[in-house]
Amino acid sequence: MITMSGFPYNTKDMLISSTILSTTDQDKHTRRSSLDSQALGIMNLSLAHNILMHRKENAKSLWNYLCDKYGSPGPAFVFVDYQYTRHFQISGNSDPASQIAKLNTLYTRLEENKCNIPSLICIMILLSIIPQS
């Protein structure tokens, strides 16, 4: 390690930074293309065989395709959240504010997944889970 006017300098970092600054646009394009090919290869190795038949030309287009196709929760996920709201319980020996916040989070997730439950039903469910004592 070399020190210069009180600041430590690493000669290896200096060589790397000067190499990056001296690259041309063609070198940048080649490097970006190489990294894109590596990313695409890693993504393809991680995918199931039935998804591999959807070949894409670069990693970004494959990622966008996967997000569009598989990025939203399915009906089973929405049903599980709905089941949690139906079987939700508020314990009588703790502060109900945090438990009501959890229930509100479940309703928010249901709304985000386009499963709108009318507010009257939400209120009736809340009234039914209030402890009797």
Task: Provide the 10 A C-beta neighbour count for residue 40.
Answer: 19
pLDDT score for 14: 44
Same domain flag for 41 and 7: yes
pLDDT score for 133: 64
Same domain flag for 7 and 45: yes
pLDDT score for 6: 46
pLDDT tens-digit series, residues 40-92: 888 888 888 777 777 778 888 888 888 888 887 788 888 998 899 888 888 87
Same domain flag for 42 and 56: yes
What pTM value is reported for the model?
0.49
Q: Which of 12-26, 44-58, 74-88, 109-123 has the lowest mean pLDDT?
A: 12-26
Total number of domains constituting the chain: 2
Residues 62, 43: contact at Cβ < 8 Å? yes
Same domain flag for 39 and 81: no
Query: Of the candidates 66, 68, 81, 67, which has an alpha carbon nearest to the alpha carbon of residue 113?
Result: 81
pLDDT score for 2: 42
Q: For residue 20, give both structure tokens.
A: 């990056």
Same domain flag for 37 and 82: no
Q: Is 8 helix (H, G, I), strand (E, B) or coil?
A: strand
Range of the domain at 52: 2-70
Same domain flag for 15 and 66: yes
Same domain flag for 18 and 63: yes
Determine the Cα angle at 102 with ends 96 and 106, to 5°: 140
